[in-house]
Amino acid sequence: MDEKGEKMTNVLVINSSVRSDDSISRALTTLLADRIAADVHEITHRDLTGDIHLISAQSLSAVAKSPEQRSSEERALASLADTFIEELEWADYLIIGSPMYNFGPAASLKAWADLVARSKRTFTYTDAGPVGLLKIKKAFVVAVTGGTAVDSNIDFMTPWLKHFLTFIGISNIETITADGIYGKHGEENIRCAKEKIAGLSI
């Protein structure tokens, strides 16, 4: 609350499923956002299946320059990464919907990570090693798979995502898992994820 007694908490919800209405990760991130909405000032939704681009030599060179030094072409190239980083700097809480594709994250989520990992903005190197610079209080990772067990030795999504979030400064991470949704326990696993969300607060 600020001095006027108004809520100050900002939440960023990121989705990366290529599915829409039938996406379980989208349904669960929506449920979680609704669950905490009463305690939140503002929620921003970022859908990574929109116009995300991959990093390139040109985009890396553009973001390495200060905004004043960038040409108009470089400004355009840097603008999406700048926006993604500003969203993270604005957020107090982060919700990420992460469907598993080929044992890892969606390509768009990896592309997002490549764009937001920026020295002196989201992380920095010190004599003691890398230090994350984001001030996000907590991240909720909603991990959804068709058959692969989350945290098994062939899950290259959840450990990677948690490590990356820690790298950029977010160490308080809660995972909500709906794995093996096409298996015989699929419906039950989705129901358990919903139950967990119903008991969550920020």
> H/E element holding 35?
helix 24-36
Q: Is 110 left (phi over 0), alpha (psi -120 to 50) or beta?
A: alpha
Q: Which of 148, 158, 175, 189 touches ligand FMN (CB under 6 A)?
A: 148
Q: Which of 95, 100, 143, 168 touches ligand FMN (CB under 6 A)?
A: 100
HSE of 21 in the Cβ direction (CA atoms, 13 Å)? 0
Nearer to ligand FMN, 59 or 145 (CB): 145
- Is residue 197 a contact partner of residue 31, using CB atoms and an 8 Å limit? yes
Cα–Cα distance, 178 to 83 (Å, whole number) = 30
103 binds ligand FMN (CB under 6 A): yes
Min CB(177)–ligand FMN separation in Å: 12
- Is residue 74 a contact partner of residue 62, using CB atoms and an 8 Å limit? yes
Cα–Cα distance, 105 to 112 (Å, whole number) = 11
3-state secondary structure 59-89: HHHHHHCCHHHCCHHHHHHHHHHHHHHHHHH
* Helix residue ranges, H only, 91-157: 107-116
Site stretch for ligand FMN (CB under 6 A), options 35-43, 79-87, 107-115, 138-146: 138-146
Q: Which of 7, 8, 19, 125 touches ligand FMN (CB under 6 A)?
A: 19
Collapsing DSSP to helix, strand or coil, 25 comes out as helix
Site stretch for ligand FMN (CB under 6 A), options 40-48, 58-66, 125-133, 140-148: 140-148
Q: Which of 130, 132, 146, 186 touches ligand FMN (CB under 6 A)?
A: 146
Q: Which of 59, 145, 158, 189 touches ligand FMN (CB under 6 A)?
A: 145
Min CB(69)–ligand FMN separation in Å: 40
Q: How many residues at the interface with ligand FMN, by CB under 6 A?
A: 17
Q: Which of 26, 46, 110, 121 touches ligand FMN (CB under 6 A)?
A: 26
Q: Which of 23, 59, 175, 177 touches ligand FMN (CB under 6 A)?
A: 23
Using CB under 6 A, list all residues that contact ligand FMN.
Answer: 17, 19, 23-26, 99-103, 144-148, 181
